[in-house]
């Protein structure tokens, strides 16, 4: 994968391991693979057996960073949330791989554990730990901003969880740049732990908020982004065609991306993938890794074929990166 060429405010430590780069998340001692495996498909488009197969293959490829949430996957009929965490926890216990992976999960969006009050944070974390079958979480994200609870209450609760050993680091997800800045400044004022990363949507199609609003905050505080939807829910893989959507479980949700600009981006991406003898997914993620403020992306796969496409090694020239960026 292409190494980020644009950081002058974040130092990246790279270690080659089975063709996978390891990077140090700024303001932590966490060394992670350059692709974070999203597990929002576990219990949705990937059943438990396939999920365990994906996890084992990801680890074998040199990956070590898993991303989940207590909400995954409550949108499936019959589910109540936590299914993804349960599958990860079962795999960790069966394989004994807990110390080989960096485990991130998110709280605050599950309807039965909604919000970031102190009581809810503590209860939600205990639920996550039970499902994950572990006694600590490496990175705990606030899954969305809760403006009905004072920031101080939430941040102090997170800090106390870190002091207890249940959580190592904290991050924010779906926060505006303004609220992220406010939260970090408040943590500094209080002398407590602060968010070390942000997980928002960022990809070739969805760029404006990251590049114009969030990036200055990341530079100001020396932290990085670990974006979700790096493949735009699969739209960037090229599997969809104009006005012809597959019966994919995600086909309805990706229609939001359907416009002339975005189809042009996919066409350009596909041409480059053919030229490089690579997958659209690998090219799109290599572009994302190259972007200012991004340390690594989150990407998911519902089977081994998709996982292999994500992990293809590809090197992009400055011109190729610029050609992808021009839209």
Structural domain containing residue 24: 15-325
Whether 87 is covered by a domain: the verdict is yes
pLDDT of residue 247: 53
pLDDT of residue 249: 57
256: tokens are 């939001």
pLDDT > 90? residue 19: no
Whether 291 is covered by a domain: the verdict is yes
CA distances from 25 to 46, 65, 186, 323 (A): 29, 11, 22, 28
What residues are labeled active site? 72
pLDDT of residue 251: 62
11 pLDDT tier (thresholds 50, 70, 90): very low
Whether 161 is covered by a domain: the verdict is yes
229-265 tens-digit pLDDT: 999 999 999 988 886 655 555 666 788 899 999 999 9
pLDDT of residue 92: 98
The 8 Å CB, 24+ separation contacts for 20-26 are 20/61, 20/62, 20/63, 20/311, 22/64, 23/295, 23/296, 25/169, 25/196, 25/197, 25/224, 25/226, 25/295, 26/196, 26/222, 26/223, 26/224, 26/295
Whether 78 is covered by a domain: the verdict is yes
In this prediction the pTM is 0.92
Whether 85 is covered by a domain: the verdict is yes
99-129 tens-digit pLDDT: 999 999 999 999 999 999 999 999 999 999 9
pLDDT > 80? residue 205: yes
Domain count, the chain: 1
321: tokens are 């990166």
Whether 8 is covered by a domain: the verdict is no
pLDDT > 80? residue 326: yes
CATH code: domain of residue 298: 3.20.20.100
């Amino acid at each position: 994968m292409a190494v980020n060429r644009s950081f002058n405010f974040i130092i990246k430590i790279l270690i080659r391991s089975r063709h996978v780069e390891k990077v140090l998340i700024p303001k932590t001692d966490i060394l992670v693979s350059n692709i974070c495996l999203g597990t929002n498909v576990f219990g949705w488009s990937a059943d438990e057996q396939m999920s365990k197969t994906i996890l084992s293959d990801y680890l074998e490829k040199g990956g070590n960073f898993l991303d989940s949430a207590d909400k995954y996957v409550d949108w499936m009929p019959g589910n109540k949330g936590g299914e993804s965490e349960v599958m990860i926890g079962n795999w960790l216990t069966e394989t004994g791989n807990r110390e080989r992976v960096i485990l991130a999960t998110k709280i605050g969006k599950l309807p039965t554990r909604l919000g970031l009050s102190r009581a809810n944070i503590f209860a939600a974390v205990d639920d996550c730990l039970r499902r994950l079958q572990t006694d600590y979480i490496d990175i705990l994200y606030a899954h969305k901003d809760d403006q009905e609870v004072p920031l101080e209450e939430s941040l102090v609760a997170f800090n106390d969880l870190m002091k207890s050993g249940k959580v190592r680091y904290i991050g924010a997800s779906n926060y505006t740049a303004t609220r992220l800045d406010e939260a970090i400044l408040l943590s500094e004022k209080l002398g407590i732990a602060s968010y070390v990363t942000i997980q928002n949507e960022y990809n070739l199609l969805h760029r404006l908020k990251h590049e114009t609003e969030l990036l200055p905050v990341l530079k100001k505080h020396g932290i990085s982004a670990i974006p979700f939807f790096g493949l735009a829910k699969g739209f960037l893989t090229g599997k969809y065609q104009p006005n012809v959507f597959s019966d994919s479980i995600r086909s309805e949700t990706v229609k939001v991306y359907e416009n002339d600009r975005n189809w042009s981006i996919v066409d350009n991406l596909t041409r480059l993938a053919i030229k490089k003898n690579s997958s659209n997914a690998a090219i799109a993620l290599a572009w994302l890794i190259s972007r200012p403020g991004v340390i690594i992306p989150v990407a998911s796969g519902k089977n081994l074929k998709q996982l292999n496409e994500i992990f293809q090694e590809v090197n992009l020239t400055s011109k190729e990166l610029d050609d992808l960026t021009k839209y």
